[in-house]
Amino acid sequence: MNHSLAGWDDTIVALATAPGIAAIAVIRLSGNNAIAIANELFPSKNLVQQASHTLHVGLLKSSTEVLDEVVISLYKGPRSYTGEDVVEVSCHGSPFIQEKIIQAFIAQGARLAKPGEFTLRAFLNGKMDLTQAEAVADLIASNTEASRKTALQNIRGGFSNELKELREQLIQFSALIELELDFSQEDVEFADRTRLKELITVLQNVIYRLLQSFRLGNVIKNGVQVAIIGKPNAGKSTLLNALLNENRAIVSDIAGTTRDTIEEVLNINGVLFRLIDTAGIRQHTTDVIESIGVARSMEKMHAADVVLYLFDVNDTTNEQLTDTINELDAAGVQYILVGNKTDGLNASTVQQQYAGNEIVFIAARNNTGIDALKTTLLQRSLSGDINTEDTIVTNARHVAALQQLQTTLADVAEGMQHNIPGDLLAIDIRRCLHYLGEITGEITNEDQLDYIFSKFCIGK
């Protein structure tokens, strides 16, 4: 492991709880001098002599004044979050006190931690691998039940455990093949080719499943972008309001009411949907602002994961709808057709009108059909249930490495089909090992670590 990161030996300090007023705030120190530094400010006891995993109540004092009455938790390395000596000071949660205590620790020789530095140290000290460290950031950022569960699963090592064992088996093969190369004159095979082929197939299946899970992972982590698109007056803003169950957007019978896009978040069964109400699309408008709005609607339509295409069943023929479907297909967007304003109409007559097309019928103004529409949205976005027992890839960095791994595995498989010589096989297997190691962090570089941990908050 590369330990050459600057400031690695420093003792670091940061506020671990959210800034602002609270009943209690926690300030965390980590490093070789953490306990000695805390001890300098804690006259009532000698903390250096206390056992790990113990609590100590007392006054915290700088040379001149009492700072606060606090509770100190001691964790001696390696049995701590970072693997180093860690001191957590629970103080009264005034921002003024928090700042004074941090400054007092800095005066004793601690340095303010960089974003994610506690977790970086945990990673460098082997307390967790890279996917687990990344899951810590995901867990802190999680805002739904589903994102919390997947992050927690990954912190426990769900993802990396799947890959670790396969990596170890591959390392064994790689070692045997390299050994063959030492005996190349004698034409021996230490590495059983049939078993290697089996292992490659297993790996290919695992990688395929993990890559497939990313679509779901992305939905869980980032939510689903849903653009509500349609002609002016179709009832798009009414639908937005009905989905949100509040009067968020202005509704009127004047065509062209919505000028700019409006975005709101909706949680359906633990999945976040980012709903975007757009300006109604009509081809020929002389109104400059409206035409800018239309351009923006088109943009949102292309960026969306799912488009709700809304039309008024009272003034849309099946032929017109077919033209729209052709346009949507040509644009390559995922869409759900929604027929609005069915109130006062006979359900089966309306359905016959659009025979052959799959449509969700609603009356947005009366809240009719909204629950069914939500269910359709959920099904379409998840294509199956969220089973958080399964490993779900949520991280774009992992996807990139998995894709490279997939390509390299295909090279190995093809090479073996053609019985390529061991030295060439060894090169491809080494590349596989490289990508596998990149995911879990056995192979990393400083830039990559900087990038990953800079996205954390300070104090984590």
Residues that bind ligand GTP (CB under 6 A): 230, 232-238, 251-253, 255-258, 279-280, 340-341, 343, 363-366
Q: How far is the CB of 235 from Mg ion (least distance, A)?
A: 8
Kindly indicate which of the ranges 118-126, 182-190, 228-236, 371-379 contains the residues binding Mg ion, using the contact rule CB under 5 A.
Answer: 228-236
Strand-by-strand arrangement of the 271-277 sheet: 262-268, 271-277, 224-230, 306-312, 335-340, 359-361
Q: Does 340 bind Mg ion (CB under 5 A)?
A: no
Q: How far is the CB of 376 from ligand GTP (least distance, A)?
A: 17
- Residue 216 near residue 224, CB atoms below 8 Å: no
Q: How far is the CB of 319 from ligand GTP (least distance, A)?
A: 21
From residue 111, give the alpha-carbon distance in Å to each of 11, 99, 107: 6, 13, 9
Tokens of 228: 């509500």
Q: How far is the CB of 277 from Mg ion (least distance, A)?
A: 6
Nearer to ligand GTP, 150 or 340 (CB): 340
CA distance 255 to 262: 17
- For Mg ion, the nearest residue by Cβ is 258
Give the one entry of ligand GTP, Mg ion, none that residue 336 binds, where binding means its C-beta sits below a cut-off of 5 to 8 angstroms depending on kind: none
Give the one entry of Mg ion, ligand GTP, none that residue 399 binds, where binding means its C-beta sits below a cut-off of 5 to 8 angstroms depending on kind: none
Tokens 């709808």 belong to 321
Q: How far is the CB of 315 from ligand GTP (least distance, A)?
A: 11
Q: Of 413, 414, 410, 425, give the one whose Cα is nearest residue 191.
A: 425
Q: Does 237 bind Mg ion (CB under 5 A)?
A: yes
Q: Does 258 bind Mg ion (CB under 5 A)?
A: yes
Give the one entry of Mg ion, ligand GTP, none that residue 11 binds, where binding means its C-beta sits below a cut-off of 5 to 8 angstroms depending on kind: none
Give the one entry of ligand GTP, Mg ion, none that residue 232 binds, where binding means its C-beta sits below a cut-off of 5 to 8 angstroms depending on kind: ligand GTP
369-403: buried (b, 16+ CB within 10 Å) or exposed (e) per residue? bbeebbebbbeebbeeebebeebbbbbebbbebbe
The alpha helices in 77-222, defined as continuous H runs, are 95-107, 117-124, 130-141, 145-155, 158-182, 193-222
- For ligand GTP, the nearest residue by Cβ is 280
Nearer to ligand GTP, 36 or 328 (CB): 328
Q: How far is the CB of 262 from Mg ion (least distance, A)?
A: 8
CA distance 246 to 244: 5
Give the one entry of ligand GTP, Mg ion, none that residue 340 binds, where binding means its C-beta sits below a cut-off of 5 to 8 angstroms depending on kind: ligand GTP
DSSP string, 207-252: HHHHHHHHHHHHHHHH-EEEEEEESTTSSHHHHHHHHHTS--S---
Q: How far is the CB of 263 from ligand GTP (least distance, A)?
A: 14
Q: How far is the CB of 169 from ligand GTP (least distance, A)?
A: 58
Give the one entry of Mg ion, ligand GTP, none that residue 255 binds, where binding means its C-beta sits below a cut-off of 5 to 8 angstroms depending on kind: ligand GTP
From residue 351, give the alpha-carbon distance in Å to each of 28, 191, 207, 322, 340: 64, 65, 44, 15, 12
Kindly report the backbone phi and psi dihedral angles of residue 15, in degrees, each rounded to the nearest multiple of 5, phi listed first: -70, 125
Nearer to ligand GTP, 109 or 256 (CB): 256
Task: List residues binding Mg ion (CB under 5 A).
Answer: 236-237, 257-258
